[in-house]
Each structure stands twice: as C-alpha cells, then as structure tokens.
Amino acid sequence: MLLATVAVLAQTGSGIIGIDSFATKLQRRPQPRILDVRTKEEYAINHVTNAVNVDVSQPGYEEQLKALPKTEPVFIYAINNARTTKLAKQLLAGGFNEVYELQGGIANWIGSGYPYFSSVANKTSVSEFDKQIDEKIPVLVDFYSRYCGLCKKARPVVDSFQNVYAGKLKVVAIDINDNPGLIARLGVVHAVPTFVLYNNEKLLWQKTGIDTLQEDLRQALVKVNAAK
C-alpha cells in the first residue's frame, strides 16, 4: 500500500515540498487553490493569504472538495504534515492530478516571510524578545503552537531542564499563533516545535522536532558551559 502511494506521488509530481517550491508553484497559478486543513479556530487566527479553510476534523468536509476541479493543482497545509498527508492521499485516490503539501506548514510560511492574514496583535515585539534573551545565562526559547501535539509532548522535556538548571538556564515560550510578526522577523522558525538556545543574545543552537531532544539539548548546554 505504501509503495503504491509513493508511486502515485512520483507520477503526479505531488507530495510534501519545501517552502520555496510551494511558493513558486503558487505564483505560477493565476488563482491557486490553497486549502488550510486546520480547525476554524486556527484558521481565524492566521492563515496563508487567499487560503480557504477545509476543517478535516469535522464531518462533511468532503462536500467542499467536490467543488474543486480535479485537473487543477491543490495546495494544502496545516501545522505539520499529518493532516495534509491524509487529505493528499484522499484527493489523489479521488482523481485529483496534483496535490502539494507545504513542509513545515503555517510556521514555515510565516517564518519564511511570505504574505499571511492575521487577526491578532503580536504579544511579543522584536524589542521585547531581544530583552528576554539578553541574559548572562543561556536562554532556551521554545517556539510552539498550542494546537500542536508534538509541542505538548516536548513540554515535559523542557520543564525538566528548567528544573535541573534552575538559576543557570532561562526558558522562554513563544506561541507562534500569537506572534506571527515576531516569527516573520526572526526567520528561524520553519516548523513547530522549534527550540533555539541563545547566550548573550547570540544564537548558539537550534533544533526542530522532538526526536533526541533531551540528549541534543543536554549536549548543547554542556558546550555552552564549557566555553565559559
């Protein structure tokens, strides 16, 4: 089954693609069909300009898909790629020719400086962020989304380091939903969760995802302390 899916993607040119390829393909279409497959609540906070919300968590979303011409490319995104991959398989199985998923989702789009809609004012300005990382001790910034399952799984790991390094490590949590302007300006977040370690305002280490997070962060802190 997996091999069959891969073969379909290879034949159509569809699949998960990087931000620049995704944006370039959009720009080539006079009226690109962009689907935001997150919840209505997420969509209302921020979304790719001209994207239409198709909440795949709600029954009946298939009716919205029937209005799409199958011969035109479909561009889809979410937070990560779990929801988009599921929908992409469904669309391809239903006869759509091309379905492109944005790698890294909405965080990648905003973090790469592409145009977006937002209904929120940034809770943290760039100047405020600079003050937060202006410390004599290392500062770990956890860029997350409250709608992200992986981000929730990472929280106990981050909390454990905050406890072990009490007084020697500052932790700052930034929800990308509430701070799109900051994410766009920093240009370091292209998926969530993303972790960035600063020391004296200098970016020393960063990581996206939760695989080997505990060990990678431990090694990064060892290097920082050894350099002092």
Within 10 angstroms of residue 221's Cβ, the number of other Cβ atoms is 21
Last residue within a domain, chosen from 95, 118, 141: 118
Based on the fold, state whether residues 97 and 63 are members of the same structural domain.
Answer: yes
Structure tokens at 94: 């239903």
Based on the fold, state whether residues 114 and 157 are members of the same structural domain.
Answer: no
Residue 225 pLDDT: 81
- 3-class state of residue 21 by DSSP: helix
Based on the fold, state whether residues 93 and 184 are members of the same structural domain.
Answer: no
Based on the fold, state whether residues 76 and 142 are members of the same structural domain.
Answer: no
- Active-site residue set: 148, 151
Based on the fold, state whether residues 7 and 68 are members of the same structural domain.
Answer: yes
Return the H-helix or E-strand segment holding 99: strand 99-102
Based on the fold, state whether residues 10 and 100 are members of the same structural domain.
Answer: yes
pTM for the predicted model, two decimal places: 0.92
State which residues form the domain around 192: 126-226
Structure tokens at 97: 């020719």
Alpha-carbon gap, residue 134 to 5, rounded angstroms: 49
Burial class of residue 171, CB neighbours in 10 A (0-12, 13-18, 19+): middle
Based on the fold, state whether residues 41 and 72 are members of the same structural domain.
Answer: yes
Residue 10 pLDDT: 41
The CATH number that applies at residue 140 is 3.40.30.10
Based on the fold, state whether residues 139 and 114 are members of the same structural domain.
Answer: no
Below-50 pLDDT ranges, the chain: 1-11
pLDDT digits (tens, 9 = 90+) for 46-66: 999 999 999 999 999 999 999
Based on the fold, state whether residues 73 and 137 are members of the same structural domain.
Answer: no
pLDDT digits (tens, 9 = 90+) for 88-125: 999 999 999 999 999 999 999 999 999 999 999 999 99
Residue 12 pLDDT: 52
Based on the fold, state whether residues 131 and 156 are members of the same structural domain.
Answer: yes
Is the peptide bond preceding residue 193 cis, with omega within 30 degrees of 0? yes
Nearest C-alpha neighbor of 93 from the set 18, 5, 172: 5
Alpha-carbon gap, residue 114 to 133, rounded angstroms: 26
Alpha-carbon gap, residue 157 to 102, rounded angstroms: 28
